[in-house]
Amino acid sequence: MVKALVSTGFTSGSPDTAVPAALAQSLGLWPLREGEAVVVSPETGGGTVESYVVPQAVVVQVVTEDRVSKEVIANVLVNPYIEEVLVSDYLAEELHI
């Protein structure tokens, strides 16, 4: 289970979650193997950064004291410059947050 930030200005056209490289490593998604990811250069609050998208790599679900959301398959953006997990606006909508 991992805590994530929502409503951060992370907009996308698909269910995406951005994760630090250390978490991606613990999930077996980092370091990348050839052909597994697409290099992207998203605009962030800190400028343009090179990140890596691993398509449909995780199942995301919201778990609180009183409810559990549906499961959503999400793309993972591995961003070595962040320290917290971020949920895109699209993924938040899919999770009914």
Nearest to 79 by CA among 21, 12, 29: 21
Q: Is cis: bond before 31, omega within 30 of 0?
A: yes
Q: Which residues contact 63 (CB under 8 A, 6 or more apart)?
A: 1, 69
**53/35 Cα distance (integer angstroms):** 11
Q: Can you give the pLDDT of all 97 residues of the chain as single tens digits?
A: 899 999 888 999 999 999 999 999 999 998 877 777 888 888 777 788 888 999 999 999 999 999 999 999 999 999 888 999 999 999 999 999 9
Q: Where are the domains of the chain?
A: 20-94
19 φ, ψ to 5°? Answer: -130, 150
* Model pTM score: 0.88
